[in-house]
């Protein structure tokens, strides 16, 4: 079957779906701090990617 992996053990046949789709993400962080006038802007931020409401992956992003 297309997109499935088939495993046969005795009289049990298991078909497992193999997801081959990928997603590409991009983003932009906008600071509203008067061009860092007070020097409080952090060197980076942590972005959390959620899958069905659960953290799936994190990425540290720096300028």
Q: What is the pLDDT of residue 63?
A: 76
Structure tokens at 25: 């993400």
Distance of alpha carbon 44 from alpha carbon 42, whole angstroms: 5
Structure tokens at 24: 């590409």
Torsion of CA 55, 59, 62, 63, to 10 degrees: -80
Strand, coil or helix: 10: coil
For the question of whether the overall pTM of this predicted structure is more than 0.85, the answer is: no
Q: Which residues contact 20 (CB under 8 A, 6 or more apart)?
A: 3
Could you report the per-residue pLDDT of 29-63, keeping only the tens digit for each? 999 999 999 999 999 999 999 999 999 999 999 97
């Amino acid at each position: 079957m297309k997109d499935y992996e088939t495993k046969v053990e005795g009289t049990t046949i298991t078909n497992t779906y193999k997801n081959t789709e990928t997603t590409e993400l991009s983003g932009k962080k906008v600071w509203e701090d008067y061009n860092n006038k007070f020097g409080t802007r952090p060197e980076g931020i942590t972005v959390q990617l959620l899958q069905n409401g659960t953290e799936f992956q994190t990425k540290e992003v720096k300028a």
